[in-house]
């Protein structure tokens, strides 16, 4: 027994050494993939004017992020590209309804190499391969599906196996950039960052629900002053300026009118 303790105690001590105390100024945020570059810049600006704070970002598709939070992943603040996932988390009791607000908006576009010619959504039926975020978990994919349903081409495209499901909107953009598909449905903000692709077609506003990013604080985040401070910063003029710089649709009200 003594021999075991001699080995066990130092091991336990070693484990305890590696436990990082949760600092009160550390804010963990889960953010929809399409907001990555803008939020990184906003975070840098926040940390610069609030030294001693640290923001730990986690980017992914809104659906998978919501799933993570429900499974217990630590997060103080969640920004989703689809209101459904915020409602889901409110229903599961993970997010408090009074902290939920609209963060910003975006516009769905179809990007691809210049060789692809599209003048309307119906033209997409001619293409061989189109990348969209998987509608099961990626809001951009859900909006794309809505638009294609409205144009009457979704069922045909899905049945002929022409849709490549990406795990988030950035992966869809990557497929288009690499020319493995003839085009992809991404947000205008992602299209502006594309290396090899151009915006071929801007999806008219009426064809899908307005792309709204909803923000909410989790139960843990509500308790943290640092998280509330960051939330306030995200609503401030500096953050709005950065969002506009990246091409987000910051104007307009919630009814979808600009």
Binding site for other proteins (CB under 8 A): 61, 63-64, 66-67, 70, 85, 88, 129, 134, 136-137, 158, 161, 163-167, 175, 178-181
Smallest distance, Å, CB 178 to other proteins? Answer: 6
Cβ closer to other proteins: 74 or 113? 113
Smallest distance, Å, CB 227 to other proteins? Answer: 22
Do residues 15 and 215 make contact, with C-beta atoms less than 8 angstroms apart?
A: no
Cβ closer to other proteins: 175 or 233? 175
Q: Which residues contact 102 (CB under 8 A, 6 or more apart)?
A: 212, 213, 214, 215, 254
Closest among 77, 172, 176 to 133, alpha carbons compared: 172
Cα dist from 35 to 71, 78, 161, 171, 248, whole Å: 23, 12, 29, 14, 9
Smallest distance, Å, CB 196 to other proteins? Answer: 10
Q: How long, in residues, is the chain?
A: 258
Closest among 143, 11, 27, 138 to 85, alpha carbons compared: 138
Which tokens go with 206? 């009426």
Smallest distance, Å, CB 60 to other proteins? Answer: 9
Cβ closer to other proteins: 30 or 61? 61
Cβ closer to other proteins: 76 or 171? 171
Cβ closer to other proteins: 39 or 172? 172
Smallest distance, Å, CB 175 to other proteins? Answer: 7
């Amino acid at each position: 027994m003594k021999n075991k303790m001699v080995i066990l105690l130092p091991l336990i001590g070693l484990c305890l050494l590696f436990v990082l105390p949760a600092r009160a100024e550390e804010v963990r945020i889960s953010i929809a993939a399409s907001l990555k570059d803008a939020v990184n810049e906003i975070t840098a600006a926040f940390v610069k004017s609030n030294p001693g704070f640290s923001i730990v970002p986690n980017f992914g598709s809104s659906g998978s992020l919501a799933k993570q939070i429900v499974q217990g992943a630590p997060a103080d603040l969640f920004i989703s590209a689809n209101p459904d996932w915020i409602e889901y988390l409110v229903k599961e009791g993970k997010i408090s309804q009074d902290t939920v607000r609209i963060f910003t908006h975006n516009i769905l576009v179809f990007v691809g190499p210049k060789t692809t010619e599209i003048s309307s959504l119906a033209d997409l039926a001619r293409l061989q391969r189109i990348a969209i975020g998987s509608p099961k978990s990626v809001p951009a994919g859900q909006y794309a599906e809505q638009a294609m349903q409205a144009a009457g081409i979704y069922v045909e495209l899905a049945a002929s196996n022409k849709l490549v499901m990406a795990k988030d909107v950035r992966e869809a953009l990557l497929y288009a950039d690499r020319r493995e598909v003839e085009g992809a449905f991404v947000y205008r903000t992602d299209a502006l960052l594309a290396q090899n692709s151009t915006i071929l077609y801007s999806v008219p506003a009426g064809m899908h629900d307005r792309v709204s990013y909803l923000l909410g604080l989790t139960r843990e985040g509500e308790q943290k002053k640092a998280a509330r401070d960051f939330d306030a910063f995200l609503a401030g003029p500096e953050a709005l300026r950065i969002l506009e710089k990246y091409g987000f649709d910051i104007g307009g009200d919630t009814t979808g009118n600009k």
